[in-house]
Copies of this chain bind each other. A is one copy, B any other.
Amino acid sequence: MEAQFVNPFLTSLINVLQTMAQLEIQPEKPHLKKSEIAKGDVSGLIGMVGPQTKGSFSVTFDEDMALEIMQRMLGERSESIDEEVTDMVGEITNMVTGGAKRILSEKGFEFEMATPVVVSGKGHTINHKSDGPVIIMPFKSPHGTAFIEICFDH
């Protein structure tokens, strides 16, 4: 999978968090996920189906970062990852994938999005099961860390 498929998701996450939560995040280098184990506390996942390919996208936050985004977006802080936080992560997942979809569509790469699913649980791991390589991109902010993973068949 080439950078042209990955960068739209990266750009889109940066834009969404900047616009919705006035949160600046620093992307680290995207790389192939091999034996690496990346853990997080709340993740949004979404399936993608297109004429050329299918795949999956996930965005994972540690608890501190999810609660900080929530506070910045809604002006109130949850004590823990409750339904309001998972709703927000589902929305972010939709927005990031929708943003990437628009950019990729202009390049002739089309897909439709399924509905998002949000996973909540301390230190869980996400395993994309497709034929293609999984690209992982970590992000840092003063309020915690996040990462996205993208995978397309072939």
Contacts and interface: CB of A to CB of B under 8 A. Distances in A.
Interface stretch (A15-23, A67-75, A107-115, A137-145): A107-115
Interface of A: 39, 43-49, 54-56, 58, 83, 86-87, 90-91, 93-94, 112-131, 151, 153
A94 B47 CA distance: 13
A115 B58 contact: no
Given A113-B54, A122-B121, A124-B124, A87 B47 contact: no
Nearest to A132: B115
Contacts of A48: 47, 114
Describe A's contact surface by its main secondary structure.
Answer: strand
A85 to B, nearest CB: 10
A120 B127 contact: yes
Given A47-B117, A114-B114, A121-B124, 19 more contacts: A39-B121, A47-B47, A47-B48, A47-B56, A47-B115, A54-B112, A54-B114, A56-B114, A56-B116, A93-B129, A115-B131, A115-B153, A117-B126, A117-B129, A118-B126, A118-B129, A119-B124, A119-B125, A120-B124
Contact of A119 (B47, B90, B126): B126
Nearest to A83: B127
